[in-house]
């Protein structure tokens, strides 16, 4: 298997854009890749509204 | 991407693409663009696994079918994300069991809008559990009867929307093709009322315990469809560049959220206000419904004000995020 280019993958390319920031400067590419891979779901993942059981609130 | 003779969807102008008002042509473009991206992503995964034909070939074939114009359901997108995550985590040995489901999900056109119960939603159930892990427990199984009851209410809401908000109806039906009725987690202090997920393009999760009137159905559909719209506009760059670790008060949820969540909640609030006010002015509501719609719109506008103040103070918006929100703000302030 050759190296995956995240910038060519729907969803995962978004983390590539975030990674351009200094905060994500790569010290250990593999570890960061794994960590960011897991983050991908959270970054643009679930959008959930909720209502308190009591009292009811609009979400 | 395989050469199928079909080029990528042509991009509309920025004013169309980022239009605050619903725009059916924009929705059709975004649906096409998401499929183009799915095909290109599968094609890239096929390239990097070319030394393992058993993996590469089914990926290439799925990519070709989608690039050729096949429109697929949320299970195809979810399965792609699962396969991509496995390969990114250098776990190719775990990919083969996912290939037959990918082939199945990319062999037939997606069916028309369908409402199914969580626990009876087949591949979508499996993939929600795979992709969301512990969060999947927030979406508990429902029953065929409750899903059927929700589907009846949805039909009433869609009919009202088609009559009074035809562009929103067209935009929504261009994007949403599957609704899963799921119940809240037993004993939880809060119950989800609706949800959508970037990795499941075309899917909405709705809690049948809520949304009891046609007006409430329109409101929740306007809400969730706006999340989906933002997903479709979040292809090339994120909406915000704030770190996920930084949390802020949300106008719509009791728990603090990352700026991406604040952005979504704020934009969605403005679109809900638009839907409720446009509906109230349409002349098709009863007086009681009109009063309810205007009250909902007041709440939605207050939520927008709360959210935009957080964004103005702390948001680091991308050019795409700024272009979208600028148009929402212009409508609210007009």
Residue A33 falls inside a structural domain: yes
B237/A1 CB distance under 8 A: no
| A2 with B89: Cβ contact below 8 A | no
Residue A19: inside a domain, yes or no? Answer: yes
Domain-terminating residue out of B110, B139, B173:
B110
Residue B310, domain extent: 237-334
pLDDT digits (tens, 9 = 90+) for B236-291: 999 999 988 899 988 777 778 889 889 999 999 999 999 999 999 999 999 999 99
Around B193, how many Cα atoms within 13 Å sit in the side-chain half-sphere? Answer: 21
Q: Residue B237: list chain A partners with CB under 8 A.
A: 14, 17
A39 touches chain B (CB under 8 A): yes
Q: Is residue B275 part of a domain?
A: yes
Could you give the number of structural domains in chain B? 2
Q: Residue B280: inside a domain, yes or no?
A: yes
Contact (CB<8Å) A59/B227: no
User: For A39, which of B196, B231, B244 is closest by C-beta distance?
Assistant: B244
Q: What is the pLDDT of residue A16?
A: 55
Residue B12, pLDDT > 90, answer: yes
**pLDDT at B206 > cutoff 50:** yes
In chain A, the number of structural domains is: 1
B172 assigned to some structural domain: no
Given CB atoms, is A22 within the 8 Å cutoff of chain B? no
Q: Please judge whether B52 and A4 are an interchain contact, meaning their C-beta atoms are less than 8 angstroms apart.
A: no
Give a yes or no: residue B104 inside a domain. Answer: yes
Q: Judge: A53–B191 Cβ closer than 8 Å, yes or no.
A: yes
Of B69, B88, B110, the residue that ends a domain is B110
Would you say residue A55 lies in a domain?
Answer: no
**B127 found inside a domain:** no
Q: Give B231's contacts in chain A (Cβ within 8 Å).
A: 44
- Does residue A51 belong to any structural domain of this protein? no
User: Could you tell me the pLDDT band of residue B7, with boundaries at 50, 70 and 90?
Assistant: low
Nearest CB to B199 within list A4, A41, A51: A41
Domain boundary among the residues B110, B141, B171 is at B110
Encode pLDDT of B67-114 as tens digits.
Answer: 999 999 999 999 999 999 999 999 999 999 999 999 999 999 999 999
The residue range of the domain holding A30 is 6-42
């Amino acid at each position: 298997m050759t190296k995956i280019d995240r910038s060519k993958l729907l969803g995962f390319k978004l983390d590539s854009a975030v990674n351009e920031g200094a905060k994500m400067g790569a010290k250990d590419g593999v570890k960061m890749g794994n960590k960011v891979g897991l983050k991908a779901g959270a970054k643009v993942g679930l959008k959930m509204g909720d209502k308190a059981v009591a009292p009811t609130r609009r979400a | 991407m395989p050469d199928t003779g079909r080029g990528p969807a042509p991009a509309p102008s920025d004013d169309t693409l980022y239009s605050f008002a619903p725009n059916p042509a924009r929705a059709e473009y975004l649906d096409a663009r998401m499929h183009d991206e799915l095909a290109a992503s599968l094609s890239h995964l096929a390239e990097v696994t070319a030394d393992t034909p058993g993996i590469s070939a089914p990926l290439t074939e799925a990519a070709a079918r989608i690039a050729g114009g096949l429109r697929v359901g949320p299970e195809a997108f979810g399965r792609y994300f699962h396969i991509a995550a496995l390969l990114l985590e250098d776990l190719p040995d775990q990919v083969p069991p996912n290939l037959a489901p990918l082939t199945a999900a990319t062999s037939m056109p997606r069916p028309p809008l369908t409402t199914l119960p969580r626990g009876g939603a087949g591949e979508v159930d499996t993939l929600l559990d795979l992709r969301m892990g512990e969060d999947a427990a927030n979406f508990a199984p429902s029953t065929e009867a409750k899903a059927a009851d929700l589907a009846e209410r949805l039909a009433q809401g869609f009919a009202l929307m088609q009559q009074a908000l035809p562009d929103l109806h067209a935009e929504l039906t261009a994007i949403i093709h599957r609704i899963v009725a799921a119940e809240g987690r037993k004993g939880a202090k809060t119950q989800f009322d609706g949800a959508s997920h970037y990795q499941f393009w075309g899917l909405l999760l709705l809690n049948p315990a809520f949304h009891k009137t046609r007006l409430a159905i329109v409101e929740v559909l306007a809400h969730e469809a706006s999340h989906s719209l933002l997903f479709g506009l979040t292809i090339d760059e994120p909406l915000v560049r704030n770190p996920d670790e930084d949390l802020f008060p949300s106008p719509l949820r009791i728990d603090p959220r990352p700026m991406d969540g604040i952005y979504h909640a704020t934009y969605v609030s403005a679109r809900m206000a638009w839907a409720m006010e446009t509906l109230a002015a349409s002349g098709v509501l009863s007086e009681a419904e009109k009063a309810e719609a205007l009250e909902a719109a007041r709440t939605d506008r207050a939520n927008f004000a709360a959210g935009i103040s957080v964004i103005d103070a702390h948001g680091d918006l991308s050019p795409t995020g700024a272009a979208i929100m600028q148009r929402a703000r212009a409508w609210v302030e007009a």
